[in-house]
Amino acid sequence: MTANRRYHAPVWDEPLIMEMSAPGRRGFVPPAPIEAMPPEHLPATVLRDELPELPEVCEPDVLRHYLRLSQETMGMIGVSLFGTCTMKYNPRVNERLGALADLAEVHPHQDDSQVQGLLEIVHRTDLALRALSGMDRFVFQAGGGAGAAFTHVAVARAYFEARGELGRRTEIITTQQAHPCNPATAAAAGFTVVTLPIEEDGYPSVEALRAAVSERTACLMVNNPDDMGIYNPHIKEWVDIVHEAGGLCFYDHANFNGVMTRLKARELGFDACMFMLHKTFGVPKGGGGPAVGAYGCTEELARFLPGPLVEASEDGYVRRENPEGVGRVREFLGNAQQVVKAYSWLLAMGADGLREAADISVLANAYMQHRILQIPGVSIAIPQMTMHRMEMTRFSLAEYTEETGITVAQVQNRMADYGVDAMWLSHEPWFVPEPFTPEAGETSSLEDIDHWIDVLERVLEEGRRDPETVRTAPHRQVVAAIDGARLDDPDFWATTYRAYRRKHLS
Amino acid sequence: MNHPYMPNSAPATRQAMLDAVGVGDVDELFEQIPADHLARTPVALPPAMRSEVQLDRTLRTVLARNEPAEPGRCFLGAGAWQHHVPAVCDEIAGRSEFLTSVWGTPSSDYGRNQAWFEFASQIGELVDLDFVGLPVYSWGAASGYALRMAARMTGRRRVLVPETTDPERLAVIRTLCGPSGAERSLVVDLVRAERDTGRLDLGALAQLLDTDVAAVYVENPGYLGVVETEMVRIGELAAAHGAELVVGVDPLSLGLLAAPGTYGATIVTGPTQPLGVHLHAGGGVGGFIATPDVERYAREYPTLQVSVAPTRTEGERAFGMTLFGQSSYGSREEGNDWTGNSVYLWTVVNAVYLALLGPAGIAELGHTIAGNAAYAARRLGEIDGVSVRWGGFFKEFVVDLTATGRTVAQVNAALRDRGIVGGKDLSTDFPWLGQSALLCVTEVHDADDVALLVDALKEALA
C-alpha cells in the first residue's frame, strides 16, 4: 500500500531571526538621501531615541532562513484534502501574471485611463460570476469570505435603513452549520443572531425556520450544501418564508465546488451570494490570504454596494462611486491581483471545465466516502441521510476513540508523519464527536486520494496495535506536538520576542 | 481532452471511480438536489482555454493596457506607497510552501508559524509594545477593529477621529463602526485640524473629549503627511478622560520617528504594505494591531495570534494560536468581532523585509525618505504659484496649486502626458485646501526624478 512511501519533514532547528543577530550586520542598504533632512525639518522631540531591536542579519542568511522556514512548512506540497471551501491546485501561470509589473506596480489611485486592463478584467470577472449565479452585480472589495459576509450585513443595514425598518429588523437567522463568519459579522453589525440547530435530516426543519422568522427578521445567512455535504432540499421554501416576512436571503457559496454550473443562487430566490475567489476559483490560500470574497446581489440591493463600482462606458472602463452605498468595506478595489488570477482560472476552465470539475469533485468524494466507510471505527455524520453527499462528507471517529482512547486530533498529527497535511475537522460547534471532513476537489489525483485513505487506515491500525505511537505523534515532523495547555495564560503567552524574553528567557 | 488541472478527468481514472462507487452516470450522485433547483439556463461562459500558451498571451495582452507606476515616476501615496521591494521578498513570496499552506498544525506548518511570530516580534520592536496580533485586511480594518476594541474595553460608544483621516480609510472605519443612529453603532466624531500646521487641533480635541469617549484616534504621520508634535499631550488628554489613545503609524517611519509605545499610545495600528509588498493596484494592503501585553487589551483582540509554546519534546518550541477561543472561529457571534482569511502570505514577506533592514537599515531608510521628501518639497515650492502647505512631514506632503489658477486634475493630466503620475487630488475631499495634491516621495526617487517632476510641472503650468 502507498502508505509505505517514506517521508520525513525537513528539520533545521532554525533559530528565530532575532537569535541570528550579530552586531553590525545588515541585509539592506538604502540609497543616501538626495539631500540630508534639514535639522529644522522635524523637532528632536518627535524623533526616535533608541534604534528598534530588529535583527542584524546579512542578505544571504535572511534568504536561507526563510527558505528553511518554507521547507518547514508542508502546505500543499503534502497531500492536502482539506474540507470546506475546496483547496485546489493554483495554476502557476497566474502567479507569474500577478507578479508582472503591469499589475504589481499599478497604484490604486492611478487614473482610470492608466488601468484599463485591470478594470476590464474586473468587469469581465463580474460578468462571469453573474453568469454563474444569476445575480446582477459583483464587487470584489472584501478581503475574504468573512469580509463578504460582512459586506452583506452592511448592505442589509443600508437596505433596511432606506426603508425605515432598521430599528425593527434586528435579527439575523443562520444555522448551526453556517460558517462562524456569518453569525459573527451579523453580531458585529449590530444584529441579534438566531441560530437554528441541525435536526434529523441534517439541516434545520422548515418548521424551525417558520418559528424563528418574524417581522424582526433582517436576513437569512446560510450555506448549501453545508460542510457535511448535505444539501437542504427545502431551500427554495426557506427563501420564500424569509421573503414573505420582508427579510433578505444571503447564500454563502463557500461550498460552490460541487454545484458549479448546476445551481444559480438567484434562480433559487436568493438576494445575494458570496464566492471565494481564493480556493474555489483557483487562487492560492496563502496560509490565509490575501483573498477575495466576491459579493454579488440583485439590482435592488446593488445601489447599497460599497464603491467604487467598475463599469464599461463609451470612454472605456471606469470606476464610479455608489452614492447610496455603504462606502467601503475595505480600501480600494480589493485584492485586485487575486481577481485577475481568478479570471484567468475561469478562462482556463470554461463552462465545460467548471461542469467537469463539479462532477469530478462530487465523484471523488463519493469514492473517498466509499473507501473510508470500510475502515473499522469510522462512521458518517447523519447516517440516516442515505443519499450521496456532495463534494465532501463529515465523518466521525467516535467509535474508534471510544475503543482506543485516541482522538481525531492525534490521528491528524500522526497522518502528518506520512506527508498528509492536516485534515479539516469541523467548525464550531462540533455536533458529532471526533469529526473530520476531507475534500478532494477536482485537482487531487486518484493516487493521492488513495494514499490519503491508506494513511488514515494505517494510522488507525497503528493506534490499535501501538497506541502510544499515535498518541505521541507526530514523530517525523519538524517538531513534536505542541503543548498548548498554557496558551491562554497571560503569564505564559508570548506573541512577540520581547514578551518571550521577559516571560520565558529571563 | 484531459484538462491539465484535473488528473481525474482522464477517462480511465474517472471510470475507475465510477465503478468503485457503483454508479453508471455521475448525475446520479447529485440526487440530493431537487430537479426544480437545477439551473434553468446554461452558464453563458466560453469553453475551456486549456493551453497555457494561449491563456498567458490572452492575459498579458489585456494587462498590457495598464500603465503601471514606474519607480521614480510615480508620486502617489495616499494609502498605498511605492517603496523598493527587495528581491529576497519576492523570492520568499513565491515559495510554494507558503503560497499554498492551508491551516496545518503547529508541527507540520511550523515554519510559517515561526515566520508569523517573527513578523509580530519585529512590529513589537518598532512600535515598542509587547502584544501583536496577526494582521487584518487593511489599515482601515485594523483601525476600525482597534476602535471597537476600545469601545468594548471602556463600555463607551463614541470615538474621536481626525478630520484629516484618509477618506478611503475613514469610510472603512465608519462601516466597521456602524451607521449613525443605529443602536449598537459607535459614534464617530471628527476632530478639526489646525489650518496653519495640519496637525490635530488640541483645543478642538479637548472640547470634544468627555467621559463617553472610548478612544481618541490619531495618525502619526497624519494622512496629509504631517508629523504630530504633541502626542504626549494628546495621550494625557485622552487618559484624563479614561479614553484609549489609538495611534495609526507608518511602520517605515519608525526608524526615524519615536515609537508610539513611548508616548502613550495604548493601541497601535498601521499598514503592512510598505514592508516589502508591491502595490498590486491596492491588493498589497494589510493592517496590524499592537498593544501592551496585558489582559485588558489581549482579551479584546478579534484577530488570530501565535505564541511560543513548548512541545512534547524537552527544550523544543513551537508556535500555536493563543486566545483562539475569543475569535469568531472559536466563539461565533460571542467572539470579538470577526476574523477569517486575512493577508498572511504578506505577513511572511513583511517579516523578511524587516529582517533585511535591521535597525541600521530602517533608521537610514527613514532619513533617506524624509530627506528626499523634504528636498522634493523644497524644489516644488520654488515654482511660481506652487506652495508646500506645511513642513514637518515624513514622506507625504501637500502641494497647493491654487495660486496657479489650474486644477489638480488639469495638472495631473499634463503630468500623465509626460510619463509622470502626479499626487492624489485633495480638492474634493478637503475643499478647505483649495486645489491641493498629496505627493509621496520615498527612497525610490532620486534627484533626476525630482528634476523631471519639477520640469514637467513647470511645463504644465506654463
Segment B229-250, tens digit of pLDDT? 999 999 999 999 999 999 999 9
Q: How long is chain A?
A: 506
Quote the CA–CA distance of A345 and A322 in Å, as a whole number.
29
- pTM for the full predicted model: 0.98
pLDDT > 90 in chain B, percent? 96
Query: Would you call A99 helix, strand, or coil by DSSP?
Result: coil
Do A97 and A286 touch, CB atoms closer than 8 A?
no
CB contact under 8 A, A496 and B65: no
CB contact under 8 A, A110 and B76: yes
What integer pLDDT is reported at residue A259 of this predicted model?
97
Phi-psi region of B64 (alpha: psi -120 to 50; beta: other; left: phi over 0): alpha
Query: Would you call B271 helix, strand, or coil by DSSP?
Result: strand
Quote the CA–CA distance of A340 and B60 in Å, as a whole number.
11
> Is residue B182 scored above 80 in pLDDT?
no
- Inter-chain Cβ pairs, chain A and chain B, closer than 8 A: 750
What integer pLDDT is reported at residue A428 of this predicted model?
81
Position B70 confidence tier, pLDDT thresholds 50, 70, 90: confident
CB contact under 8 A, B356 and A95: no
What integer pLDDT is reported at residue A1 of this predicted model?
53
What integer pLDDT is reported at residue B130 of this predicted model?
98
Could you report how far apart the first and last alpha carbons of chain A are, in Å?
50
CB contact under 8 A, A17 and B9: no
Quote the CA–CA distance of B348 and B122 in Å, as a whole number.
12
ipTM for the predicted complex comes to 0.98
Structural domains in chain A (count): 1
**B:318-347 residues touching chain A, CB 8 A cutoff:** 318, 320-325, 328-335, 337-347
CB contact under 8 A, A286 and B121: no
Q: Does some domain include residue A234?
A: yes
Do A216 and A169 touch, CB atoms closer than 8 A?
yes
CB contact under 8 A, A183 and B255: no
Closest CA to A33 of B31, B364, B9, B119: B364
Closest CA to A276 of A297, A288, A291: A291
What integer pLDDT is reported at residue B1 of this predicted model?
79
The tens digit of pLDDT for each residue in A397-406 reads 999 999 999 9
Do A290 and A338 touch, CB atoms closer than 8 A?
yes
Q: How far, in Å, are A121, B184, B241 from residue B149 at the CA level?
A: 37, 14, 17
What integer pLDDT is reported at residue B10 of this predicted model?
96
Quote the CA–CA distance of B287 and A331 in Å, as a whole number.
11
Letter string b/e over residues A39-61, b meaning 16 or more CB atoms within 10 A of that residue's CB:
eebbeeebebeeebbbbbbbbeb
The single-letter DSSP state of residue A474 is -
Out of A72-86, A291-305, B7-21, B339-353, pick the least confident.
A72-86
H/E run at residue B16: helix B11-21
Domain ranges in chain B with CATH number 3.40.640.10:
101-353
In the numeric block, which cell numbers belong to residue A179? 460558517
Query: Helix, strand, coil: what percent of chain A each, to 5?
Result: 40, 10, 50
CB contact under 8 A, A493 and B33: no
Q: Which residues of B touch A347 (CB under 8 A)?
A: 46, 49, 55, 58-59
Selecting from A21, A479, A496 the residue whose C-beta is nearest the C-beta of B130 gives A496
The per-residue pLDDT of chain B, averaged, comes to 97
Quote the CA–CA distance of B374 and A33 in Å, as a whole number.
10
CB contact under 8 A, B282 and A118: no
Closest CA to B98 of A99, A241, A404, A75: A75
Query: Would you call A373 helix, strand, or coil by DSSP?
Result: coil
What is the longest distance spanned by two Cα atoms in chain B? Answer: 83
The per-residue pLDDT of chain A, averaged, comes to 96
> Is residue B322 scored above 90 in pLDDT?
yes
Q: Please name the residue that has the C-alpha cell 440547530.
A: A197
Q: Which residues of A touch B75 (CB under 8 A)?
A: none
Quote the CA–CA distance of B138 and A334 in Å, as a whole number.
10
Residue of B nearest to A60 (CA): B88
Classified by CATH at the fold level, domain B101-353 comes out as Aspartate Aminotransferase; domain 2 (3.40.640)
Which of 2.40.160.40, 3.90.1150.10, 3.20.20.370, 3.30.70.980 would CATH assign to domain B359-461? 3.90.1150.10
- Distance from the Cα of B239 to chain A's closest Cα (Å) equals 20
- Mutation for testing the A interface, residue in B51, B63, B122, B445 having most A CBs under 10 Å: B63
Residue of A nearest to B346 (CA): A290
CB contact under 8 A, B281 and A445: no
**B:174-233 residues touching chain A, CB 8 A cutoff:** 174-176, 178-179, 182-185, 227-229, 231
CB contact under 8 A, B76 and A188: no
Do A113 and B409 touch, CB atoms closer than 8 A?
no
In the numeric block, which cell numbers belong to residue A485? 495547555
Phi-psi region of A169 (alpha: psi -120 to 50; beta: other; left: phi over 0): beta
Residue A319: phi and psi, rounded to 5, are -100, 135
- Distance from the Cα of A402 to chain B's closest Cα (Å) equals 24
Tell me the mean pLDDT in the region B165-184: 92
Chain centre to alpha carbon of residue A305: 22
- Mutation for testing the A interface, residue in B74, B121, B439, B454 having most A CBs under 10 Å: B121
> A115: domain range?
94-348
Quote the CA–CA distance of A311 and A326 in Å, as a whole number.
18
> Is residue A13 scored above 70 in pLDDT?
yes
Quote the CA–CA distance of A99 and B39 in Å, as a whole number.
37
Quote the CA–CA distance of A436 and A372 in Å, as a whole number.
11
Selecting from A195, A287, A478 the residue whose C-beta is nearest the C-beta of B98 gives A287
With 0-12 / 13-18 / 19 or more C-beta atoms within 10 angstroms meaning exposed / middle / buried, residue B168 is buried
CATH number at residue A193: 3.40.640.10
In the numeric block, which cell numbers belong to residue B439? 505627493
CB contact under 8 A, A334 and B282: yes
Domain ranges in chain B with CATH number 3.90.1150.10:
359-461
Tell me the mean pLDDT in the region B327-343: 91
Selecting from B45, B174, B345 the residue whose C-beta is nearest the C-beta of A287 gives B345
pLDDT > 90 in chain A, percent? 97
- Mutation for testing the B interface, residue in A47, A107, A446 having most B CBs under 10 Å: A107
Residue of B nearest to A194 (CA): B333
With 0-12 / 13-18 / 19 or more C-beta atoms within 10 angstroms meaning exposed / middle / buried, residue B208 is middle
**B:113-132 residues touching chain A, CB 8 A cutoff:** 114-115, 117-118, 120-126, 128, 130-132
CB contact under 8 A, A388 and B32: yes
CB contact under 8 A, A114 and B361: no
Quote the CA–CA distance of B159 and B58 in Å, as a whole number.
49
- Distance from the Cα of A399 to chain B's closest Cα (Å) equals 24
CB contact under 8 A, A33 and B345: no
Q: How far, in Å, are A47, A188, B305 from residue B392 at the CA level?
A: 12, 39, 36
Packing angle, helices B11-21 and A446-465, rounded to 10: 40
Q: Which residues of B touch A334 (CB under 8 A)?
A: 282-283
Query: Would you call B216 helix, strand, or coil by DSSP?
Result: strand
- Distance from the Cα of A5 to chain B's closest Cα (Å) equals 18
Residue of A nearest to B89 (CA): A63
Letter string b/e over residues A225-240, b meaning 16 or more CB atoms within 10 A of that residue's CB:
bbbbbbbbbbbbebbe
Position A221 confidence tier, pLDDT thresholds 50, 70, 90: very high
H/E run at residue B268: strand B267-271
CB contact under 8 A, A75 and B101: yes
Handedness of CA B320, B321, B325, B329 (dihedral sign): negative
CB contact under 8 A, B111 and A70: yes
In the numeric block, which cell numbers belong to residue B265? 499610545
Packing angle, helices B167-177 and B139-154, rounded to 10: 40
Quote the CA–CA distance of B302 and B336 in Å, as a whole number.
5
Whether B1 and chain A come into contact, CB under 8 Å, resolves to: no
Q: Which residues of B touch A421 (CB under 8 A)?
A: 102, 104, 108
> Is residue A84 scored above 90 in pLDDT?
no
**Looking at the DSSP assignment, which residues form a beta bridge with residue B398?**
B438
Residue of A nearest to B184 (CA): A190
CB contact under 8 A, B141 and A330: yes
- Distance from the Cα of B382 to chain A's closest Cα (Å) equals 16
Residue of B nearest to A333 (CA): B282
In the numeric block, which cell numbers belong to residue B423? 499626487
Q: Does some domain include residue A188?
A: yes
Whether B289 and chain A come into contact, CB under 8 Å, resolves to: no
Q: Does some domain include residue A28?
A: no
Quote the CA–CA distance of A219 and A152 in Å, as a whole number.
9
- Mutation for testing the B interface, residue in A172, A424, A451, A479 having most B CBs under 10 Å: A479
**B:370-409 residues touching chain A, CB 8 A cutoff:** 370-372, 374-376, 391-392
CB contact under 8 A, A66 and B351: yes
Quote the CA–CA distance of A178 and A251 in Å, as a whole number.
10
What integer pLDDT is reported at residue A2 of this predicted model?
65
Q: How far, in Å, are A86, A335, A373, B2, B209 from residue B55 at the CA level?
A: 23, 21, 41, 17, 58
Locate all alpha helices (DSSP H) within B71-138, ordered by sequence. Answer: 87-93, 96-100, 110-127
Query: Would you call B263 helix, strand, or coil by DSSP?
Result: coil
Selecting from A31, A75, A347 the residue whose C-beta is nearest the C-beta of B368 gives A31
Selecting from B34, B47, B102 the residue whose C-beta is nearest the C-beta of A421 gives B102
Residue of B nearest to A166 (CA): B182
CB contact under 8 A, A46 and B365: no
